[in-house]
Chain A
Amino acid sequence: MEHVDFSLVDWSRAQFALTAMYHWLFVPLTLGLSFIIAFMETQYVRTGNPEWKRITKFWMTLFGINFAIGVATGIILEFEFGTNWSNYSWFVGDIFGAPLAIEGIMAFFMESTFIAVMFFGWNKVSKKFHLISTWLVAIGSNLSALWILVANAWMQNPAGMKFNPDTARNEMLNFWDVLFSPVAMNKFLHTALSAYVLAAVFVIGVSAWYLLKNREKTFAKKSMKVAAIFGLAASFLTIVSGDGSARNMAKFQPMKFAAMENLYIGQQNAPLVAIGFLQKNKTEMDPKEQNFVFKLEIPNMLSYMAFLSPNAYVPGIYDLVKGNAEHHILSYKERSEKGKISIESLAEYKNAKKAGNDSIAKIALAKFNENYAHFGYGYYANRDVNELIPSVPSTFYSFRIMVGLGFHFLALFLVVLLLIKKDKIDKKRFILYTALWTIPLAYIASELGWIVAEVGRQPWVIQDILPTIAAVSQIKPASVQFTFWLFLVIFTGLLIAEIKIMVSQIKKGPDSEDADHHTNNELINS
């Protein structure tokens, strides 16, 4: 492909990134807070203590505010696959569409039906039914996360499918391979668990604010305790599943892995750069070389992290682009030649079929299948293969900040839990301030995780098979540019509204049971 309208590809990518990142500002809190609320209400039903009901209802109000904007930002994403990535929708729709449909049927209805019971059913249904509804909201929202993350994981590691040359698309061969691919399972666990961490940080941070203000002490401590236990468990498991993610990445997306590590020359016994600062590009070499100004290494750790063996060989960016015969790595140039053969054989096959020439069709098909693993590289046959290298600094730094913050959250949960146990938490103002200021950090860590996952796999929409330049819809770049700004304005406006409402509700604090009527009458009369 010689001619590509990069402004179209870039604006389409920018729009998807914008809408996805906005959506992700709200999703993790929904995923985690729904469980935290369910734990709290379980406490209420178990003990009958009205304080627990008050606690549950307060966090439920915040849940509702956050949930609404999560829904608002989510609908765009589902349809954007069609509007902005139309080729993609056909090329892999046979596999990718199914999880989206199942998400709707299985998860969204559960969520939206029982959310109505959760909010409006307090005085209308039995305590038990209400509690079940709250749990079903949590299960429903997490199920929806499961399906969409299965879909995302499949893009990173396309499993369980085969290309059908007659329909010119990939078709599903085995649903269970798609659902239970190790990448999918790991992705779901790591993402959902990290969302629980964020929600726990949120609850602890807000509760800390009450303690700092000397308000609602029992409420705050009880909330904190639930969140800290939940957060601690989730934190620990996030780290374990993160380790699994890194291994999957090294195996299925070596370029992403190398970029994340700023590893240019592959090596055995590769060290892990725990802390490092990259040098700015001084010269445009091929491929762009990048070095460290400063680094702190853990010997052998990278090899171990990637392949569970300190001696393992980890390929670098240079090896992947230029090839490495010793380690049986084809260069990108070779892969793009093979990809080109694959694409051309597909055309040959179709033409032969049309002409009724079965023997030529058969030969073309064999050639196609032989080279299909490199299909996507074919679109780079007449292009600079360096376009296949993702941004190194953004993945390198994002990964390190995310991991660093992850350990910070773990430590915070431990300290908070310890102080609650000793009943000293309200006196440790420094910890309370730290907890409060950790809230934005949790959001940063969460978004950075997606930057590693998504920027790191560029330009692949489907790993090795479909690059962004061949997936995009043919629309005027100005149209996409316009909708990009439109979404930016709308979502930013809604975000400001959400934060303002959330802050007011927090300042207002939890209602007492009697105050309920009073406030609503006030609201209605205002």
Chain B
Amino acid sequence: MFETFSYITLQQYWWIIVSLLGAILVFLMFVQGGQTLIYTLGKTEDERTVLVNLLGRKWEFTFTTLVTFGGAFFASFPLFYSTSFGGAYWVWMLILIAFVVQAVSYEYRKKPNNFFGKRTYETLLFINGLLGTVLIGTAVATFFTGSAFSVDKMNITRLIGDKMPVISEWKGLAYGLEAALNLHNLTLGLTVFFLARVLALLYFMNRVNNTEIMVRVKKQLIYNAIPFVIFFLIFTIWLLLSKGFAVNPISKEVYIEPYKYLHNLIAMPVVAVIFVLGVAMVLLGIIRPIACFVKCSTKGIWLTGIGTILTVFALFLLVGFNNTAYYPSTFDLQSSLTIENSSSSFYTLTIMSYVSLLVPFVLAYIWYAWRSIDNKKIDIEEINTDSHVY
């Protein structure tokens, strides 16, 4: 089946898969958002335990999605892997370390004799929530703003002289940290941070059965939704007005085009519809529980969650499709990465496409397994009687 596809179709198919994984990852970062709210929402130890356990039953899923996102990106666009990871070293290292410390914190937080004490593990969860969201947002923003690097595959033939035979050379002085100093990048970082918190609040609303926590959740929803909307608007407006990195479809030459991303949105009406629909769903999911009077909707997580997936998905398509360089170089335009010049071979993409057919099956068992253990809201009583508690 996939063998009959053209190379570019497979490259686009894999960009769609990577984009979807990235989009789902942003949605699932509600876990990270929630980790920054444990003390804001939980005033007693029991309350905090409920919140931690609610997040603790989902953290691994976010983590696995991150790892799979990395693996899929590596398998389908290896030049991105070698250029970005090997260059923006510090940004990726900080992100990774933020996730390393998360992975033990749930399991070890409450265990007797845990060496660092409960507060330390809670602080690590907070660090993961803050750094994970802000830095991933910042790193993704460089897809639009560009980074300073050069790529020359012939560098591997360097046998003499004092230069190393390295294909991708980073020119940014701070090995990636310079990205965090760019205001546009930081705007997206903060958007993701506040979005993750909003999603976490909606998730708690859906899952917690406790009046005191609910009152705080509702208040916090407003406090976090406002900065989220502001940062998101700033980023979006800037994006639509900014110049972008276009590729000449014939000569493959990369050049700067004014209003490139706005043009892409117009040129790809389907993407525009997904984007607008996504944004509308995100906002509606937030507004409904805020604007209600007596009985509030608790399904906001689904509306805003799916909206998040659609919006992020559309942003990825915007930067990858319609002759656009998705990982542009500000140092040497022609080094910019496109889905065509950075992808795996036709054969590998074909094989991987067959593997991708497993995805619906994976989603189905995740849905089934979760439904069977998440069938009712969680309160303090339930946590206290569970045999595995974080």
In the complex, how many angstroms separate the beta carbon of A137 from the nearest chain B beta carbon? Answer: 11
A5-63 interface with B by 8 A CB criterion: 5, 57, 61
Residues of B with C-beta under 8 A to A100: 70-71, 74-75
Contact A78 B111 (CB under 8 A): no
Known contacts A71-B63, A94-B345, A114-B369; decide if A83 and B387 are in contact (CB<8 Å): no
Contact between chains at B82 and A105 (CB < 8 Å): no
Q: Determine whether the beta carbon of B93 is less than 8 Å from that of A82.
A: no
B100 surroundings in chain A (CB, below 8 A):
72-73, 75-76, 490
Tell whether B170 is near chain A: CB-to-CB under 8 Å: yes
A122 at the interface (CB under 8 A from B): yes
**With A and B bound together, what is the CA distance between A3 and B159 in angstroms?**
9
Q: Does B373 contact A (CB under 8 A)?
A: yes
Query: Is B162 a contact partner of A171 (Cβ separation < 8 A)?
Result: no
Question: Least Cβ distance of B373 to chain A in Å?
Answer: 5
**CB-nearest residue of chain A to B383:** A524
Assess whether A124 is in contact with B372, with CB atoms less than 8 Å apart: yes
CB of B107 within 8 Å of the partner chain? yes
Q: Which residues of B contact A475 (CB under 8 A)?
A: 86, 89, 170, 175
> Is A173 a contact partner of B107 (Cβ separation < 8 A)?
no
Among A87, A102, A347, point to the contact of B166 (Cβ < 8 A). Answer: A87
Q: In chain B, residues 362-390, which have Cβ atoms closer than 8 Å to a Cβ of chain A?
A: 362, 365-366, 369-370, 372-373, 375, 383-389
Q: Cα distance A483–B175 when bound, in Å?
A: 13
Contact A90 B99 (CB under 8 A): no
Closest-by-CB residue of A relative to B354 is A175
Contact A86 B369 (CB under 8 A): no
User: Shortest CB–CB separation between residue B370 and chain A, in angstroms?
Assistant: 7
Beta-carbon contact of B93 and A95 below 8 Å: no
Known: A86-B87, A109-B362. A172 touches B348 (CB 8 A): yes
B162 touching A2 by the CB < 8 A rule? yes
Query: Do the beta carbons of B57 and A68 come within 8 Å of each other?
Result: no
B137-158 vs A, CB cutoff 8 Å, 1 = contact: the mask equals 0000000000000000110111
A104 touching B104, Cβ below 8 Å = no
B103 touches A87 (CB 8 A): no
A117 touches B373 (CB 8 A): yes
Are B369 and A1 in contact, with the CB atoms below 8 A? no
Do A89 and B175 touch across chains, with their CB atoms under 8 A apart?
Answer: no
CB proximity to A under 8 Å, residues B308-335: none
Counting CB contacts under 8 A, is A64 at the interface?
A: yes
Q: A5-B164, A98-B351, A343-B156 are in contact. List 6 more A-B contacts (CB 8 A).
A: A2-B160, A75-B103, A82-B85, A86-B166, A97-B75, A504-B113
Measured CB to CB, the residues of A under 8 A from B are 1-5, 57, 61, 64-65, 67-69, 71-73, 75-76, 78-79, 81-91, 93-98, 100-106, 108-117, 119-122, 124-125, 129, 133, 164, 167-169, 171-173, 175, 340, 343-344, 346-347, 350, 378-379, 381-382, 470, 472-476, 479, 483, 486, 490, 493-494, 496-498, 500-501, 503-505, 508, 511, 516-517, 520-521, 523-525
Could you tell me which B residues sit within 8 Å of A by CB distance? 45-46, 49, 57, 60-61, 63-64, 66-68, 70-72, 74-76, 78-79, 81-87, 89-90, 92-93, 96-97, 99-104, 106-108, 110-116, 153-154, 156-170, 175, 344-345, 347-348, 351-352, 355-356, 358-359, 362, 365-366, 369-370, 372-373, 375, 383-389
Please, could you name 29 A-B residue pairs with CB atoms under 8 Å apart, sorted by A? A65-B111, A73-B100, A76-B96, A76-B100, A85-B86, A86-B166, A87-B82, A87-B167, A97-B75, A100-B70, A100-B74, A101-B68, A102-B75, A102-B352, A104-B64, A104-B67, A105-B356, A115-B60, A116-B370, A119-B388, A124-B372, A346-B154, A346-B157, A350-B157, A503-B113, A505-B112, A517-B384, A524-B45, A524-B49
